[in-house]
Structure 1
Amino acid sequence: MPDLAAVNRMEAGAFVALLGGVFEHAAWVAEAVAPERPFASRAALHAAMMRALRSAPDAVQLTFLDGHPELAGSEARARALTADSESEQGSAGLDRMAEAEAAAFARLNAAYRARFGFPFIIAVRGRGRAEILSVFEARLGRDPAAERETALAEVAQITRMRLERLIDP
């Protein structure tokens, strides 16, 4: 695991290769912040990456959000998740559910996507399936603009944890 000083010294291509997967299927976020180096801390790097995401046009943000996998969805069943997503979903037990629970996730995934136009996004590490289902159901009734903001806040939590696993403080 490289430390921040090593990350700051990397050539742009190596920087993007290391950090391009932190934001799900969006290496452009790492590309956008590479010229801003050096970063004083992991938190400063993460803040720059979130600024890049938040300053992107609405259509780009929506495409980014839509690029996330559904929880316990078809990508998970097909074993087509990114390594990070597979680990995160597995940590919450989403890869080993009873049929009734899997059906509840499938129903909620479909309803959420129909309402908001992107998959439900939540930082699942440290949460159990029952808590995730409860939050899932509660967020379905929210205003679309507020829910989009919540999804971006969840992305911030997920990506902060991913950076913590990639870069030694």
Structure 2
Amino acid sequence: MTDLATLNRMDAPAFEALLGPVFEHAPWVARAAWARRPFTGIADLHAAMMAVLRAAPAETRRAFFNGHPELAGPEARARILTADSASEQGSAGLDRMEAADAAVFDRLNAAYRARFGFPFIIAVRGRGRAEIRSVFEARLGQDPDAEEATALDEVAQITRMRLERLITP
């Protein structure tokens, strides 16, 4: 773990190297947030990083969403997830499902992507498969704008947990 004082003293490449992976395949978020130093706490750091993401053009946010893996999807089966995603999906048992359960997630993933144009994003840590499936099914009925807002809220939860594992106040 890195303490906040050290983080605030880092040059841009070191800052990006440490925090770049926090936002899935989007080191540009850390790169842009670096200029907002010094941070008074993890909440301040996280708010700055989320502000970068929220201020990005719609097509950039869409590309960011599409950088996320599908839940229990092809990347997970091929074991090519980022370390954070593998750990998070594994914490919910999504990496060890029976074929019938995997088929349900495949169907949900396909329906979600067809409806919204990006993978379903949810903070899975602390949730079980049944709860995730229920939320997945419910969110399929959302309006696209509301779903994008929900996906951003889920990204905020995921990235906050990741930062709390990396930075000490």
**Alpha-carbon distance in 2 for matches of 1:45, 1:145:** 26
TM-score when scaled to structure 2? Answer: 0.99
**Alpha-carbon distance in 2 for matches of 1:49, 1:62:** 17
**Alpha-carbon distance in 2 for matches of 1:111, 1:35:** 39
Tell me by how many angstroms 1:80 deviates. Answer: 0.7
Deviations 1:77-106 (Å, cap 9, x if unpaired)?
A: 111100000000000000011111100000
**Alpha-carbon distance in 1 for matches of 2:141, 2:47:** 29
Identity of aligned residues (%): 75
Aligned to 1:61: 61
| Alignment partner of 1:80 is 2:80 | yes
Correspondences of 1:88-167 after superposition (within 5 Å):
88-167=88-167
**Alpha-carbon distance in 1 for matches of 2:88, 2:25:** 15
Deviations 1:49-85 (Å, cap 9, x if unpaired)?
A: 0000000000000000111000000000111100000
- Give 1:94's aligned amino acid: L
**Gap regions ≥5 residues in structure 1:** none
- The total of aligned residue pairs comes to 169
- Give 2:8's aligned amino acid: N
Aligned to 2:8: 8
Aligned to 1:48: 48
Structure 1 runs, 4 residues or longer, greater than 3 Å off: none
Aligned to 1:70: 70
**Alpha-carbon distance in 2 for matches of 1:99, 1:7:** 44
**Gap regions ≥5 residues in structure 2:** none
